[in-house]
Chains A and B, each alone.
Chain A
Amino acid sequence: LRNDEAEALYSAYSGFMQRKQFVLLDYLLPPEEDKVVYARDGWIIPSRTLAKESREALLNRAKHWELYRPKAVLRSLSHTDYPYNCVGMVFATRRKWIDIDHIEVILQHDGYRQISKLSVVAGDIVLYRDDKNDYSHVGLIILAERNRDTMNIKVLSKWGKDGEYEHFEEDVPPFAGKAVEYWTERHL
């Protein structure tokens, strides 16, 4: 880093709380000339492109999940020049990687509102939180069946760099967290 860059970074960081630093990392990494993703109100969603995974690595990990998450059904592996993640699947039509840390702001800019589990229908989304109560994953609800006071929910979600899976809401990788919130952009 040049001295002026270092000073600018130092000055930017000194004003930020620890929690904000992770969001800031997206802005500190070298900029990318790429297609921009907009929220519904015009806000530019911070997104990244990344190098594509080797087919062999993707297949090896798919075999791992077949063994450890046998109920999850693999829909696709993204061996493309534009790998995407769970947020990119739901909010950027499978074209971009958007860090889950931006989800709260995206929901706000896209006009989503939180709903109860019993109000969920297909097309709504489910948010997961990890052990530290931070958002860790998002999925698109594809089936919501009410059985008295419980809901049977199936989700389509992209597991990080790995495949897109159709799965029960609790059937996600071990560090992807627990399904805790349900959101919709439906107008009732």
Chain B
Amino acid sequence: MTLQEIIQKLESTEFQANISSLSGFRTVLTALDSIEIVQDLVDFLADKPADQKLAIDFIKVKLSDFEAGYAHPHDISITALLYALEKVESAVSLNILETIRERKEFFWARYMAQKIISEKLHNLPQKP
């Protein structure tokens, strides 16, 4: 399976419906933990570090692909990609995370970006 094929499944109505029908970010994380295609994505990115950059490039390209005032059409697939990239400890730039966090057209992806930013801060070494 290629990254493109996995992303197509993340953009399928079935995957979108399974996530968009949820009402809490923690529940979304629990769902992502158990959905097979997401775990396939995590394994895929862990095995193919070069594709981690492709996944980040996909996010970058799709950031501005939305109609103002409407929910971002790639919100859920970007959420899943951020989740997987975090699992394989691939560094998504703070700039991308901040852009997602600030953009009101995103929803679950904003929570995911905020979570990653917060954990980056939390993992900073303690001051002496």
Contacts and interface: CB of A to CB of B under 8 A. Distances in A.
Contacts of B13: 60-61, 63-64
Nearest to B27: A136
A176 to B, nearest CB: 6
A9 interface: yes
A158 B20 CA distance: 11
A21 B27 CA distance: 14
Interface string A90-120: 0000000001110000000000000000000
A85 interface: yes
B14 interface: yes
Contacts of B118: 9, 13, 21, 24-25, 28
Interface residues of B, number: 39
Contacts of A171: none
B111 A134 contact: no
Nearest to A61: B17
Interface in B20-36: 20-27, 30-31, 34-35
A159 B71 contact: no
Q: Find the residue from B14, B21, B26, B124 having the highest chain A CB count within 10 A.
A: B21
Contacts of B21: 61, 65, 159-162, 173, 175-176
A54 to B, nearest CB: 5
B128 interface: no
Given A14-B122, A131-B34, A87 B67 contact: no
Contacts of A64: 13-14, 17
Contact of A86 (B19, B23, B25): B23
A51 B27 contact: no
B17 A51 contact: no
B11 to A, nearest CB: 11
Q: Find the residue from A85, A86, A161 having the highest chain B CB count within 10 A.
A: A161
B18 interface: yes
Contact of B23 (A10, A14, A85): A85
B18 A28 contact: no
A51 B105 contact: yes
B14 A131 contact: no
A136 B114 contact: no
A181 to B, nearest CB: 16
Given A61-B13, A136-B27, A25 B122 contact: no
Contacts of B110: 29
Nearest to B106: A51
B62 interface: no
Nearest to B28: A175
9 contacts: A13-B118, A29-B101, A52-B71, A61-B21, A100-B26, A101-B24, A136-B23, A137-B23, A176-B27
Q: Which 6 A-B pairs have the closest CB atoms?
A: A100-B24, A173-B21, A175-B31, A85-B23, A159-B21, A160-B21
